[in-house]
Chains A and B, each alone.
Chain A
Amino acid sequence: MRGSRRSGLHKPITAIFTKAVMPEEVRPGNVTMPSGDVVAEVQPKVSVKAHDRPKARSRQRQPKRPAERPVRPQVQLPLLGPLEDEARPSGLGRAIRAFVDWVRGRQG
Chain B
Amino acid sequence: MEGIWVGLVVKTLAIANQKGGCGKTTTAVNLAACLAAAGDRVLLVDIDPQSHATLALGWEPSELDRSMHDVLVKADASIRQVIRPYEQIKGLDVAAGSLLLSAADLDLNAVAGKESMLARHLKQLQDQYDLCIIDCPAYLSLMLVNGLVASDYLIVPVQTHFCALYGLKRILETVQVLRRRLDSCRVRVIGMVLTFVEEKVALSRQVQQQLRDFFGELVFQNTIHRNIRLAEAPSAGQPIITFDPKDRAAVQFNALAVELKARIHRLVGEGV
Instruction: Name A residues whose Cβ lies closer than 8 Å to a Cβ of B.
Output: 7-9, 11-14, 16-17, 20-23, 25-26, 28, 38-39, 41-42
Q: For A9, what are the chain B residues with a Cβ–Cβ distance below 8 Å?
A: 162, 203, 206-207, 210
Name the residue in B180, B189, B214 with the highest tally of chain A Cβ atoms < 10 Å from its Cβ.
Answer: B214
Of B3-11, B98-106, B123-131, B169-177, the stretch lying at the interface with chain A is B169-177
Question: Main SS of the interface on chain A?
Answer: loop
Name the residue in A7, A13, A16, A39 with the highest tally of chain B Cβ atoms < 10 Å from its Cβ.
Answer: A13
B173's nearest neighbour on chain A, judged by CB, is: A21
Q: For B173, what are the chain A residues with a Cβ–Cβ distance below 8 Å?
A: 20-22, 41-42
Between A and B, 17 residue pairs with Cβ closer than 8 Å are A7-B203, A8-B202, A8-B205, A9-B162, A9-B207, A11-B162, A13-B213, A14-B210, A14-B214, A20-B169, A21-B177, A23-B172, A23-B175, A23-B176, A26-B172, A28-B214, A39-B177
In the complex, A16→B215 CA distance in Å? 13
In the complex, A68→B188 CA distance in Å? 67
A9-B203, A9-B210 are known contacts. Are A22 and B172 too (CB-CB below 8 A)? yes
Q: For A28, what are the chain B residues with a Cβ–Cβ distance below 8 Å?
A: 214-216
Cross-chain contact A42 with B177 (CB below 8 angstroms): yes
The answer to whether B264 has its CB under 8 Å from any CB of chain A is: no
Q: For B211, what are the chain A residues with a Cβ–Cβ distance below 8 Å?
A: 13
The answer to whether B260 has its CB under 8 Å from any CB of chain A is: no
Question: Main SS of the interface on chain B?
Answer: helix
Cross-chain contact B202 with A7 (CB below 8 angstroms): yes
Q: For B188, what are the chain A residues with a Cβ–Cβ distance below 8 Å?
A: 23, 25
The answer to whether B218 has its CB under 8 Å from any CB of chain A is: yes
Cross-chain contact B177 with A16 (CB below 8 angstroms): no
Tally of contact residues, B, Cβ under 8 A: 26
Q: For B122, what are the chain A residues with a Cβ–Cβ distance below 8 Å?
A: none
Chain B residues 171 to 191 lying within 8 A of chain A, measured CB to CB, are: 172-173, 175-177, 179-181, 188-189
B203's nearest neighbour on chain A, judged by CB, is: A8
Write the nearest CB–CB distance from B49 to chain A, whole angstroms: 24
Cross-chain contact B214 with A13 (CB below 8 angstroms): yes
Q: For B203, what are the chain A residues with a Cβ–Cβ distance below 8 Å?
A: 7-9
- Kindly supply a per-residue 1/0 record for chain B positions 192-208, scoring 1 wherever the CB is within 8 Å of any chain A CB and 0 otherwise: 00000000001101110
Q: For A20, what are the chain B residues with a Cβ–Cβ distance below 8 Å?
A: 169, 172-173
Q: For B175, what are the chain A residues with a Cβ–Cβ distance below 8 Å?
A: 23
Which of B162, B176, B216 touches A22 (beta carbons < 8 Å)? B176
A31's nearest neighbour on chain B, judged by CB, is: B214
Which of A7, A13, A26 touches B210 (beta carbons < 8 Å)? A13
The answer to whether B38 has its CB under 8 Å from any CB of chain A is: no
In the complex, A9→B205 CA distance in Å? 10
Cross-chain contact A16 with B181 (CB below 8 angstroms): no
Q: For B207, what are the chain A residues with a Cβ–Cβ distance below 8 Å?
A: 9, 13
In the complex, A102→B153 CA distance in Å? 93
Cross-chain contact A8 with B206 (CB below 8 angstroms): yes
Q: For A25, what are the chain B residues with a Cβ–Cβ distance below 8 Å?
A: 188-189, 218
Q: For A8, what are the chain B residues with a Cβ–Cβ distance below 8 Å?
A: 202-203, 205-206
In the complex, A22→B168 CA distance in Å? 10
Q: For B176, what are the chain A residues with a Cβ–Cβ distance below 8 Å?
A: 21-23, 38, 41
Write the nearest CB–CB distance from B179 to chain A, whole angstroms: 7
The answer to whether B165 has its CB under 8 Å from any CB of chain A is: yes
Write the nearest CB–CB distance from B141 to chain A, whole angstroms: 16
